Structure 1
């Protein structure tokens, strides 16, 4: 639905409202003939900066990084399950029975393409090249790459299975009459890599953890290459960040303070990129923390299997609290997100330096196992966890397990299972009918939303198999 735009003409004074507001149906309706196009509205550096802030604001949407995207990465896997006492949020994903009409799926699709639209307006601005315009466009390239990366991971087969499979529509310019079909998976990844190269070239300034820096773009590229199974390029990109970014790893000593700090970071500690909220711009009770915290909805809990992976000395275990919920005692509550409704502060970690070390470790297993041990133990040593000393296939498995422990509740586990083409094997915390979800299950890929099929005739016959 967000792809087939009617003639959307924007009054200059309404540009900020368009960029900062939610993606709703009335946004695509015809506006007065006296209006101007986005290209005409973005006529100065301050205009471009306002547009960029709007693009970043769209990451905060409830069905994007504001909550749904990080939640799906854990509740569709074996990390998070729905408490027997719940508010019925994400029930269909806990049961693995979501459909083409699912509201969260539609919200995710719309939110990602809204971000792409806003990024496109910035990238296609005709303003002359300056340090600032290059910076803003570079960040817009990175935002567009980020959105396509998450769309392609959830709505298409993994690159590691079929680069020629149907991906998602590629939209690079505003066209009111466009009805683009789905591009190939490989074409989408080519666009993502191209955008991240442009971002890396154009970005020269570091602002804070809520905006893309040069090395946040390079870190995202390392993650993209890893997802493609391109270990050589993943390693190269990851090492660029590790060796040249100036970012440092969070340690066991400062872990609690790190997760309790809910304001943008300027100290280059750990967080390469996050979506942040404040007292004036937030999701209220629908923010990410409330889906886990007992002072909010408290719907989702940590699986027993995940919690048991942490050794007694592992500082990450202190991020969990054992509680009684749904009549069950001793269940583990995720405590990575302390912000709750009332504080109006919350954030979603999108990319952390610890993940970059784990990417470097996984990408080094085959060619340089000594390096692989060095990079993975850079994490275990900073968590007071047991060091890894394995080799070969077991070393690879230990790194994947370390990713599960380190990145739990940050939306990564399911995506790892997808790229590795592994079955989801769940514990008895989950409903009996949804404990074994083989890789071949058609619901391992989200459906193209019905609203999109209705709006775009060229995608109507391109629904994912099974739906």
Structure 2
């Protein structure tokens, strides 16, 4: 009974971490009232804790919003209307006083949980091959989760690796269960990348190759590794890792005819790893889905510049997921550039259009709330574009082949000639294919491209910055003041 109570407590603690007081140090030792993690003896006990880790990842502080919305909003892809959420990121109105704490604290809470799972597993002896494979797989999942959280943190608070070969300050690296009073200083970006790559290369042979959808397998870890290598400008390894997944994994690109409605399904043929949501368990009102929905907050909307880019090819299938709907707000019609990647499970494009434009009142009900949408974290399309970009930069061959797999899926008549496959052309395709998935901001600054926004009448820009140099001090967030009070870290320059 004592152990059962402890396991239940662990799970409850995992859920409560999401909303715990911002005054608590992210390095605080995992709270255990009765037993240490090494006292857990059964694999089933650890499964409860790792499921709690995925629940933490599902929070809006990580996969269900922050990792996407607060980055895309700083790019040229997304805008806010004249009210509401995400304004600070869009306007670049943030400093150490008002930086969003969860961008910092939630990934570190996840890291702490992953470290505890690893420690628990180290204390369990297994005999059967089945149990050993299960233990290895959970270890590999935890290492990959830890790597993803460190990567997100380093992208948020450290300059891109290419800016100065990784020598700028990154973030504290945490790879073990720490004592309550521990204060870990910032490592360089290069050191953080080394740790991330070490975790992933250790995890991959431990992980199952079987598709899991909502949990990490070896292909998900390899996708993250390919992305890390690309951001590091290790183009040969980025290319090789991406091509390995493309050629050997069980995933296949969506067909053109499947593309639009695939986003209304739980998983599809190219879903490698997604943040799972459903009617009973989702990110709620601050999730990316609710922020995209005009009947929710309607704050995460496509910029006119992005809309014009996709519309420049009328036969591009991705026009069909740009839905320019109308919603009356306090008597005034407001236009929303909704990207239908988060429509809610079962809400096909036809259902969405009928709901907003169908005749008669009341309008037909949607199949489900937008908040039930799964959030794609790793999908096969990205790997084709990683291979293309890495090849253009000299890391491999057949850049045109990998680029055209995405281009021709969107429009079979739009094949790019080999001579026209440039870095800018690849970045343009990444912009169109990966829109609203959290990539555009990093694609620009890591390739030393300024963020240039276009004025339009669709939103009130207020004090939004329209031109942000790639080396501007605000391309990294300020470490929140709440954290500096606990752990006196060196603040990012300019704040």
Question: Aligned equivalents of 2:225 and 2:433: distance in 1?
Answer: 20
Asked if the contact 2:209–2:219 (Cα under 8 Å) also holds between the matched residues in 1, the reply is: no
Give the aligned partner of residue 452 of structure 1.
483
Instruction: Describe the SS at the equivalent of 1:238.
Output: helix
Question: Aligned equivalents of 2:436 and 2:374: distance in 1?
Answer: 12
Pairwise CA distance, 1:31? 11
Using the size of structure 1 for normalisation, the TM-score is 0.90
Give the aligned partner of residue 49 of structure 1.
47
Question: Aligned equivalents of 2:472 and 2:24: distance in 1?
Answer: 36
Give the aligned partner of residue 214 of structure 1.
218
Give the aligned partner of residue 442 of structure 1.
473
Using the size of structure 2 for normalisation, the TM-score is 0.85
Pairwise CA distance, 1:34? 5.4
Range with bigger deviation, 440-449 or 202-211: 202-211
Change in 2 beyond 3 A, CA 1:147/1:33: closer
For residues 229-248 of structure 1, what are the structure 2 equivalents within 5 Å?
229-248=233-252
List runs of 5+ in structure 1 lacking aligned partners.
1-9
Asked if the contact 2:91–2:463 (Cα under 8 Å) also holds between the matched residues in 1, the reply is: no
Asked if the contact 1:304–1:331 (Cα under 8 Å) also holds between the matched residues in 2, the reply is: no
Q: How many residues align structurally? A: 446
Instruction: Describe the SS at the equivalent of 2:372.
Output: coil
Range with bigger deviation, 394-403 or 139-148: 394-403
Give the aligned partner of residue 16 of structure 2.
21
Range with bigger deviation, 122-131 or 297-306: 122-131
Pairwise CA distance, 1:64? 1.3
For residues 409-424 of structure 1, what are the structure 2 equivalents within 5 Å?
409-424=436-451
Asked if the contact 2:400–2:416 (Cα under 8 Å) also holds between the matched residues in 1, the reply is: yes
Change in 2 beyond 3 A, CA 1:330/1:138: same
Question: Aligned equivalents of 2:72 and 2:379: distance in 1?
Answer: 17
Asked if the contact 1:293–1:334 (Cα under 8 Å) also holds between the matched residues in 2, the reply is: no
Pairwise CA distance, 1:391? 2.5
Change in 2 beyond 3 A, CA 1:17/1:240: same
Pairwise CA distance, 1:97? 1.3
1:338 to 322, 343, 346: 343
List runs of 5+ in structure 2 lacking aligned partners.
127-131, 345-365
Give the aligned partner of residue 91 of structure 1.
87
1:224 and 2:228 aligned: yes
Question: Aligned equivalents of 1:366 and 1:96: distance in 2?
Answer: 31
Pairwise CA distance, 1:189? 0.2
Asked if the contact 1:251–1:383 (Cα under 8 Å) also holds between the matched residues in 2, the reply is: no
Pairwise CA distance, 1:417? 1.2
Give the aligned partner of residue 405 of structure 1.
432
Asked if the contact 2:7–2:48 (Cα under 8 Å) also holds between the matched residues in 1, the reply is: no
For residues 132-151 of structure 1, what are the structure 2 equivalents within 5 Å?
132-151=134-153
Instruction: Describe the SS at the equivalent of 2:231.
Output: helix
1:115 and 2:137 aligned: no
Give the aligned partner of residue 62 of structure 1.
60
Q: 1:246-294 deviations in whole A, cap 9, x for unaligned?
A: 2101121111231001x3x3x6x11111111123321222221111111
2:196 to 187, 192, 196: 192
Q: 1:3-49 deviations in whole A, cap 9, x for unaligned?
A: xxxxxxx9444111122333313987999995222332x32111111
Question: Aligned equivalents of 2:388 and 2:371: distance in 1?
Answer: 37
Instruction: Describe the SS at the equivalent of 2:152.
Output: helix
Instruction: Describe the SS at the equivalent of 2:106.
Output: helix
Instruction: Describe the SS at the equivalent of 1:382.
Output: helix
1:173 and 2:176 aligned: yes
Asked if the contact 1:39–1:121 (Cα under 8 Å) also holds between the matched residues in 2, the reply is: no
2:163 to 149, 161, 164: 161
Instruction: Describe the SS at the equivalent of 2:293.
Output: coil
Asked if the contact 1:12–1:36 (Cα under 8 Å) also holds between the matched residues in 2, the reply is: no
Question: Aligned equivalents of 1:407 and 1:33: distance in 2?
Answer: 42
Give the aligned partner of residue 358 of structure 1.
385
For residues 216-295 of structure 1, what are the structure 2 equivalents within 5 Å?
216-261=220-265, 263=266, 265=267, 269-295=269-295
Question: Aligned equivalents of 1:33 and 1:357: distance in 2?
Answer: 45
Question: Aligned equivalents of 1:102 and 1:43: distance in 2?
Answer: 44
Pairwise CA distance, 1:428? 0.4
Asked if the contact 2:30–2:177 (Cα under 8 Å) also holds between the matched residues in 1, the reply is: no
Give the aligned partner of residue 492 of structure 2.
464
Q: 1:74-95 deviations in whole A, cap 9, x for unaligned?
A: 11000000112x3x21111111
Change in 2 beyond 3 A, CA 1:128/1:391: farther
Range with bigger deviation, 26-35 or 191-200: 26-35
Q: 1:229-254 deviations in whole A, cap 9, x for unaligned?
A: 11000001001101111210112111
Q: 1:114-150 deviations in whole A, cap 9, x for unaligned?
A: 1101111112222235110100010111101111111
Change in 2 beyond 3 A, CA 1:447/1:251: same
Question: Aligned equivalents of 1:253 and 1:236: distance in 2?
Answer: 30
Superposition CA RMSD, Å: 2.4
Asked if the contact 2:385–2:403 (Cα under 8 Å) also holds between the matched residues in 1, the reply is: yes
Give the aligned partner of residue 358 of structure 2.
none
1:202 to 189, 203, 206: 206
Range with bigger deviation, 197-206 or 447-456: 197-206
Change in 2 beyond 3 A, CA 1:205/1:367: closer
Question: Aligned equivalents of 1:435 and 1:374: distance in 2?
Answer: 35
